[in-house]
Chain A
Amino acid sequence: MSQFLQYLVNGLTIGAFLSLTALGYTMIYGIIRLINFAHGDIFMVGAFAGYTVLVAAAAAHVPVALIVMAALVAGMLFTGLLGVVVERVAYQPLLSAPRLAILISALGASLALEESARLIFGAGFSSYPHLLPTAGFGVAGVRLTYAQVGMFVMAVLLMVGLYLFVHRTMLGTAMRALAMDRDAARLMGINVERIILLTFFLGSVLAGAAGVMQGLYYTQINFIMGFLIGLRAFTAAVLGGIGNIPGAMVAGLLIGLLQSFAAAYVSARWTDALVFCVLILVLVVKPTGLFGERIVERV
């Protein structure tokens, strides 16, 4: 039983990172109907940005909490700006081009980010300094570290923040309106190109945060890590119903749990095959995801 609970806790932790990343996929797809293949790599860049800050700061004698916060903020800001740059360079010129062109451009952007990271940080693994305190507590035989709990809370806060932004502010309402009907949004006086940039910024910020936290949690990062995480996160986005923000959050947690339990009770080698089977099944049986889509397809 405690074993089971331990897998549950691990699954939720991984799932929280996936949820954060899935939000970017779901928002970007909702708004410009693009599977942003570079999004997983934005996550990866976030991990490396955090790593750079941590390595630089580890030498200085600054409190750990401060260093970690700095790494998190730096990772988020850097990826946010990177997301904006990628959109301007690789996607914006293609917004009205055939759909395939922008998808190929996204593949190009993904490869470019991976290669840049490889050239800068090398092809091997980079190790985060072991900064997080290993202190923790036990509940019902499950061991939790404070850091683990902290990261989970942080992820949830970011998601709640995003939810409130999208549902309670004018800019967020504009984003949702744009996802439903781009021309009608223009007629409201919404500067559509700017809202698209904002969406990329926010999505990338969350992916960057997830990247830094993943680095802190697992300590091993490399330039290719974004690919698999990206696929799993996209699966979560589809599972939750594209464009559906709470849906992506919940589905991210579900995929995390699936991963954790599959690794424990089946085999780690089959985890991803299982994830994809779930994805295909969902799409075939209920193409609008578990919780319904929030986009309107104009015929």
Chain B
Amino acid sequence: MAFLDVRDLHTFYRDTEALKGASLDVEEGEIVALLGSNGAGKTTTLRTISGLQRARSGAVIFDGSDLTRARPHEIVSAGLVHVPEGRRIFSGLTVDENLSLGAYLSRGDRKRMSEDRDAVYALFPRLVERRRQVAGTLSGGEQQMLAIGRALMSRPRLLALDEPSMGLAPAVVRAVGQVIQRIRAAGTTILMVEQNVRQALRLADRAFVLETGRVVLSGPAGELAADPRVQAAYLGGSASVDEPPDGTVP
């Protein structure tokens, strides 16, 4: 059984079915990318995995235990941590306070917290000089670093990143990529949703492509990058496949 096994998820927002049987799996130590156009259900998949959204049916199995009906804080304590889209740092709290909250579940252990905080600051030295600053005043790239650093504070075994490069400058995007590789090298498995398909396929070992709430393609990243369908839809290659017919509404 895979480290994270997501089986046939169906998730609804009110009456709209956002996930129509999404399945994917992540092996321990992998970087797996989840691709697809806006509205395909990538974010909903992560939200369902992390318990923010209740699945109507299907299963989320993480490291052998069933987390489908678990509450978000139980999922965090199981070692699966979700860094949400748009970073969602606590903009009114300081950088230090944001990081402490990442270690909320082990709040009794001050020694562990200060060690972990030092480790995060070692990974993101830019944040050190801003540690007493209110997080809302950070730049976009710094906010993303803080969001990732905050998640690392709970010593996750699997990190689910939603659009870590959204709205960032190219150099910062590459920096985030490097950070992700370091985190994996340190032993944390990564599942990432990414709109920047080229960056995602370069980092990932494997990838899944979602379309209208279902996985329509999956495989090793290299193979997907070469797949003409992926090239046409996401990589801006010449649209040789699926040339759109001159559509009129039937």
Contacts and interface: CB of A to CB of B under 8 A. Distances in A.
A128 to B, nearest CB: 41
A180 B91 contact: yes
Contacts of A188: 76, 101-102, 104, 150, 154
Nearest to B88: A184
Given A173-B97, A296-B92, A189 B84 contact: no
A184 B107 CA distance: 17
A294 B102 CA distance: 21
Contacts of A186: 51-52, 72-73
A149 B62 CA distance: 59
12 contacts: A170-B100, A173-B93, A177-B101, A180-B92, A180-B93, A187-B52, A187-B76, A188-B150, A189-B105, A190-B73, A190-B101, A294-B92
A189 B104 contact: yes
Nearest to A193: B71
B178 interface: no
A294 B134 CA distance: 13
Interface of A: 170, 173-174, 176-177, 180-181, 183-192, 294, 296
A187 B72 contact: yes
A296 to B, nearest CB: 7
Query: By DSSP majority rule, is chain A's interface helix, strand, loop, or mixed?
Result: helix
B12 interface: no
Which of A173, A174, A190 is the most central at the interface, judged by chain B CB atoms within 10 Å of its CB?
A173
A183 B52 contact: yes
Interface string B12-51: 0000000000000000000000000000000000000011
A255 B150 CA distance: 41
B157 interface: no
B79 to A, nearest CB: 11
Contacts of A187: 50, 52, 72, 76, 81-84, 88, 151
B137 interface: no
Nearest to A191: B73
Nearest to B154: A189
B189 to A, nearest CB: 17
Contacts of A189: 72-73, 76-77, 104-105, 154
Nearest to A179: B92
Interface in B57-92: 71-73, 76-77, 81-84, 88-92
A65 B81 CA distance: 52
Contacts of A296: 91-92
Nearest to A177: B90
A181 B105 contact: no
B39 to A, nearest CB: 19
A176 B100 contact: no
A163 to B, nearest CB: 15
Give 3 closest A-B pairs by Cβ, nearest first: A189-B76, A186-B72, A184-B88
A154 to B, nearest CB: 29
B90 A184 contact: yes
A184 B84 contact: yes
Given A186-B52, A189-B154, A170 B73 contact: no
Nearest to B106: A189
Nearest to A189: B76
A188 B153 CA distance: 9
Interface in B128-172: 150-151, 154
Contacts of A181: 88, 90
Which of A170, A173, A184, A296 is the most central at the interface, judged by chain B CB atoms within 10 Å of its CB?
A184
Interface string B106-139: 0100000000000000000000000000000000
Contacts of B151: 187
Given A170-B104, A170-B107, A176 B90 contact: yes
A170 B88 CA distance: 19
B88 to A, nearest CB: 4
A263 B73 CA distance: 52
